[in-house]
């Protein structure tokens, strides 16, 4: 489960609210069955899940504007990208989230910078003021628009620029990912350095053994690795777990592509990965070609690889 999805489930089940007031969530008669269906989406076959996702988006949109409506809209949005459920379903999900944000605008998130060494910083330390960032649901919506190519059908007049700030934040993050290098060891102790792979198409996949969507997409990654490796294709699976957990998991599934260990999360942080699975495809020139924000099907992975010239 990705961090984003975990938080979505927390919103559906925990007493914490967006205002951070400790209060028990009380679902209305209309809201409760929707929350139950969202919680059970992963148990549905993909074709049923696609139809159900679209139907849930429409049901949420019809609810009164409340904090619970926001919980449901965010929870559904986080689960809607775990695979290929059709552009129409994603569009309805995005429209529901946008409409909910228009009805129930959220305040900016205030972030506090790390303390500055007063002795070294001197007078400049006064500039270390708290800054504000777009609230997570605006970032979620911007992510759908930027990476899933849905249309924004809602005009925001009361978000104080948060949606556009979120879009710019995503663009800035992608620029940083354009020029990265790292070295990590695989399960056999071999060191892999990203810059040494120039001339190959490289898919960097962040995953973990505890993550259901990660486990679901791994066989497709293995199939594609076996198919395209002779054409210069490399998959680097990166986990922040210890070898003792990763090694038996990989052995049971007979994964042959390199699995690298990042227990200190240095490379996760370098790529600004907060939720998994996430995949980044780099072309033979070492430049970022495309990326996924969640689990992908084999068909979706093939579409990503075609952008790097693999077919």
Cβ–Cβ contacts within 10 Å for residue 284, how many? 16
Distances (CA, A) of 202 to 79, 147, 199, 233, 250: 27, 19, 9, 6, 20
Q: Note whether 214 and 295 are within 8 A (CB).
A: yes
Which pLDDT does position 298 carry in this prediction? 97
Which pLDDT does position 103 carry in this prediction? 94
Using a cut of 0.75, tell me whether the model's pTM lies above it: yes
Which pLDDT does position 154 carry in this prediction? 82
Which among 72, 57, 55, 137 has a CA at the least distance from the CA of 102? 137
231 CB-near residues (< 8 Å, 6+ apart): 201, 310
Which pLDDT does position 124 carry in this prediction? 46
Which among 158, 162, 154 has a CA at the least distance from the CA of 138? 162
Which pLDDT does position 125 carry in this prediction? 47
Which pLDDT does position 126 carry in this prediction? 45
3-state secondary structure of 25: coil
Q: What is the mean pLDDT of each run of 10 residues along the chain (311 residues)?
A: 47 42 81 98 96 98 97 97 96 97 94 56 52 95 96 84 96 94 97 98 98 97 98 98 97 97 97 96 97 97 97 89
Which pLDDT does position 14 carry in this prediction? 42
Q: Note whether 36 and 72 are within 8 A (CB).
A: no
Q: Note whether 238 and 268 are within 8 A (CB).
A: yes
Report the distance separating Cα 311 and Cα 231, nearest Å: 10
């Amino acid at each position: 489960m990705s961090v984003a999805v975990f938080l979505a489930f927390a919103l559906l089940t925990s007493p914490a609210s967006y205002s951070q007031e400790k209060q028990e969530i009380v679902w209305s008669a209309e809201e409760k069955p929707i929350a139950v269906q969202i919680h059970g989406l992963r148990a549905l076959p993909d074709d049923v899940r696609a139809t159900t996702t679209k139907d849930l988006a429409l049901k949420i949109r019809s609810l009164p504007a409340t904090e619970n409506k926001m919980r449901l809209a965010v929870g559904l949005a986080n689960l809607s990208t775990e695979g290929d459920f059709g552009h129409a379903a994603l569009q309805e999900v995005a429209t529901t989230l946008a409409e909910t944000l228009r009805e129930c605008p959220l305040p900016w998130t205030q972030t506090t910078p790390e303390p500055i060494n007063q002795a070294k910083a001197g007078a400049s330390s006064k500039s270390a003021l708290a800054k504000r960032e777009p609230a997570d649901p605006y970032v979620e919506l911007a992510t759908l628009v930027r990476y899933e190519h849905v249309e924004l059908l809602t005009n925001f007049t009361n978000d104080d620029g948060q949606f556009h700030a979120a879009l710019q934040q995503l663009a800035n993050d992608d620029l940083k990912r354009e020029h990265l290098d790292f070295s990590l060891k695989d399960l056999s102790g071999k060191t892999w350095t990203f810059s040494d792979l120039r001339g190959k198409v490289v898919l960097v996949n962040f995953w973990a053994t505890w993550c259901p969507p990660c486990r679901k997409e791994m066989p497709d990654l293995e199939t594609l690795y076996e198919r395209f490796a002779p054409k210069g294709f490399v998959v680097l699976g990166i986990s922040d777990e210890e070898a003792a957990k990763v090694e038996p998991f990989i052995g049971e599934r007979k994964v042959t592509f390199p699995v690298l260990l990042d227990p200190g999360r240095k490379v996760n942080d370098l790529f600004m990965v907060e939720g998994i699975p996430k995949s980044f495809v780099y072309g033979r020139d070492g430049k970022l070609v495309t990326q996924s924000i969640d689990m992908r099907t084999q068909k979706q992975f093939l579409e990503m690889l075609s952008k790097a010239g693999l077919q």
